């Protein structure tokens, strides 16, 4: 699930995009399986997922399973909607 689409610039890498959107490390790489190296092809369509902003002052740790249960969702709903997550802790 993307918050926003972005088209990369020449010489850009995931870290630069994360900095631009104020996201934690590896969020872009996790959401875009083709991002495997330092440089991303110019004008590559990049998914900018919702992510934990570096500016957050507090973090609530949970798992996909407990979020599914808390919000009365079918098992696996949170992970299917947020493929970039590592569900052991969010």
Residue-wise pLDDT for 31-85, tens only, equals: 887 776 677 888 888 888 876 556 554 445 678 888 888 888 898 888 888 777 7
If DSSP codes are grouped into helix, strand and coil, which group holds residue 27? helix
Cα separation, 90 vs 60, in Å, equals 7
Residue 10, both tokens: 């020449």
Q: Where are the domains of the chain?
A: 1-52, 60-90
56/2: higher pLDDT: 2
- Residues 36, 38, 42, 46, CA torsion sign: positive
pLDDT at 72: 87
**Residue 3 neighbours by CB distance under 10 Å:** 13
Cβ proximity of 23 and 51 under 8 Å: yes
Full-model pTM: 0.53
């Amino acid at each position: 699930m993307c918050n926003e689409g972005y088209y990369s610039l020449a010489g850009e890498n995931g870290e630069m995009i994360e900095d631009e959107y104020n996201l934690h490390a590896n969020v872009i790489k996790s959401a875009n399986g083709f991002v495997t190296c330092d440089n991303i092809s110019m004008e590559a369509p990049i998914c900018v997922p919702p992510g934990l902003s570096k500016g957050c002052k507090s973090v609530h740790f949970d798992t996909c399973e407990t979020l599914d249960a808390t919000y009365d969702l079918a098992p696996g709903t949170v992970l299917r909607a947020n493929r970039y997550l590592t569900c052991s802790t969010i």
